[in-house]
Amino acid sequence: MAEQQRLLGGRYLLKEKVGTGGMATVFRAQDQVLNRAVAVKIMLPQYAGDPTFAARFKQEAQAAAALQSPYIVGVYDWGKDGDTYYIVMELLHGTDLKSGVRSHGALDPKKVAQIGSQICGALSIAHKHEIIHRDIKPQNIMVQPDGNIKVMDFGIARAKNSHLTQDNNVLGTAHYVSPEQTRGQELGPTSDIYSLGVVMYECATGRVPFDGDDAISVALKQVNELPVPPSQINANVDGDLERIILKCMEKDPANRFQTADELRQVLNSYLAGRAVDVPEPTRVIAGMAGAGGTEAMRMGDKTQTMVRPTAPGDTASNPVIRPNNQINTSSYDNEKHGMGKGKIAAIAIAIVAFVAIAIFAVSGFLNGGDQKSVPNLLGMGQEAAVASIKSSGFEPGNVNQSYNDQYSEGQVCEQTPDGGKTAAAGSKIDIVISKGPKPIDQVEVPDLSNASDLDEAKKIIENAGLTVGSTTQEANDADEGKIVDQSPKAGEKVDKGSKVDIVVSSGPETDSVPGVVGKTESDATNTLSNAGFSVNVESGGTSDTYAKGYVMKQSPTGTAKKGSTVTIYISEGKDTSSDEVDVDSLGLTGMTAEDAEEAIANAGLKYDPRQQSSSSVEVGNVIKYSPGGKQPAGTVIILYISTGPSE
């Protein structure tokens, strides 16, 4: 029988194949019980008979089923059908991150950070369950149509407390494995963080940090080489994101972020535009300087370190300091002879310097001898700048003020003419004094708790001059779709245009409510209490179906909030009101005894005649009767029959 026509476990009808991995094949299937589409992962036949792989496969299901996160693929069920092991999972729509990067190239830095933050959310849950993923790579990260991600395939993740943890083979893909994983050492959460750093590196640059002809050469580079800083590949990568990525990829696990939560907080701060306090990465591999590293080389007793290039206008905040004996390690080769790139560059610099000197000399000659070099005033205070102008043989000109992000308040940020140029002695030099960075308009963060849904919350944020950041869901007692948290908090003052992250309620956590209709009140109460629900007992009235004392109805059924109250309705038994007789309607008073007895018998009642004297009722007729009103069938009615006046 073809796999596509197979029914696994008497429940999951396999449809078409959607993918094949190293251990299993994945099918789209239909859950015949819950009538929903699912993904079913079936272990490949060559592994099904191997006890080690079978144990690992079952462990995958047990481990993954315990992980509940909006960023982890949900596992619904698992089992064995004959010789076939299978896992039933959430069916995802979208594309894997690897395909996305291949199609679109490098991603926007903010998108890279958002993806990294969501992966951290998945890893945080796994690590708290003592599960290391071991195979974080873009192929295992599904990008959904709404832009959010889900981490897939915990197939080689293994719980620390499992006997399988002693098997330290490198199971991950070489481009993303950590150095310690390559060495076969014990792995911890920081190994997943290293792999996540490689994923973010690839998203930010469009390429992996280390590549080679085979897996072994790539794995060796993970141990022995340093990555090229992402900004040297993609100039759009800013310094904060670069430091975050490179800290994740530190060779020594102790130098990385130590937990997924720690990394997520830093990424969220970066997304919110807040300051990110991450030190510059280590650029020398201990004992390996110059041995394959592209960023550092040891020469004599000094280590020459390449400094990240400073962006235009960033001179003050990120000065590039280069020692006199610094070299370009990427082109240095003491085995080559002749005129290398370094010598060519030196000659070019010498020619430029010679031409500049010649132009300066000719310019001074053509303009007469009364020319002076304009002093460089940038960064000076106003008084010091004026003094320098005068001492250089010039006159102070106009003094203006302007906002400037590069120079601190009170420093010269512009001058005319520029420093280093020549001008006539005694001419004026205009300066502009910095007022510091231009203030960013501050706005108050609105309160989103009263928004009816996510769309309204987004409008409120945008109307306040802010932008919508990440949106996540979490179980909460609030109604589904309500905003239950936000960052920054309502009322905080933030820069205009800052991002506001939103947490949306997915509704309260629910449990299945046991069905107790048909049980006795005692049994029903015990069943519901043991399931974690409170019980409220109400009368359900009469019932022709359920005997007295049995549950005839319950509310709610299906699922309900954990710990909520379930009301059970108890039957009062069958309705017997239709079997009752209205004695008064028989008109017994004044009847002859014979007629009264016949009327009572015809109504399904019984009679008991008794003699009593009466001066007003004719002999042989009914004086009175008891009881009256409505009486059940078979009730004895006492008839008092007149014997005439007493003597």
CA distance 164 to 566: 44
CA 85 distance to own-chain centroid: 30
Angle (CA) 590-593-599 rounded to 5° is: 85
CA distance 490 to 18: 45
Q: Which long-range contacts (CB under 8 A, 24 or more apart) does 331-338 make?
A: 332/297
CB 260 within 8 A of CB 123: yes
Q: Which residue has the tokens 């909006």?
A: 70
Secondary structure (3-state) at 39:
strand
> Taking phi first (over 0 means left), then psi (-120 to 50 degrees means alpha), and beta for anything else, what does residue 87 get?
beta
- The candidate with the shortest Cα–Cα distance to 168, out of 178, 54, 176, is 178
Centre a 10 Å sphere on the Cβ of residue 213 and count the other Cβ atoms it contains.
Answer: 7
Q: How many CA atoms lie within 13 A of 434 on its CB side?
A: 20
Residues in the chain: 647
Centre a 10 Å sphere on the Cβ of residue 272 and count the other Cβ atoms it contains.
Answer: 17
Q: Which residue has the tokens 């995802």?
A: 92
CA distance 60 to 49: 17
Q: Which residue has the tokens 């001492």?
A: 391
CA 482 distance to own-chain centroid: 17
Based on the residue annotation, tell me whether 453 is a catalytic residue of this protein: no
> Taking phi first (over 0 means left), then psi (-120 to 50 degrees means alpha), and beta for anything else, what does residue 418 get?
beta
Centre a 10 Å sphere on the Cβ of residue 490 and count the other Cβ atoms it contains.
Answer: 12
What's the sign of the alpha-carbon dihedral 437, 443, 448, 451? negative
Q: Which of 50, 77, 96, 135 is catalytic?
A: 135
Cβ neighbourhood burial of 145 (10 Å; 0-12, 13-18, 19+) = exposed
Name the strands in the sheet holding 499-505, side by side, starting at the edge strand that comes first in the sequence. Answer: 467-474, 499-505, 483-487
Strand 302-305 versus strand 296-299 pairing type: antiparallel
CB 418 within 8 A of CB 374: yes
Q: How many CA atoms lie within 13 A of 470 on its CB side?
A: 24
Binding-site residue positions for ATP: 41
CA 129 distance to own-chain centroid: 17
- The candidate with the shortest Cα–Cα distance to 120, out of 239, 241, 247, 259, is 259
DSSP string, 490-515: TT-EEETT-EEEEEEE----EEEPPP
> What b/e readout covers 178-194, taking b as 16+ CB neighbours within 10 angstroms?
bbbbbeeeebbbbbbbb
> Rounded to 5 degrees, what are φ and ψ at 109?
-50, -40
Q: Which residue has the tokens 């070299």?
A: 327
CB 598 within 8 A of CB 565: no
CA distance 187 to 407: 47
Cβ neighbourhood burial of 109 (10 Å; 0-12, 13-18, 19+) = buried
CB 486 within 8 A of CB 502: yes
Q: Which residues are catalytic?
A: 135
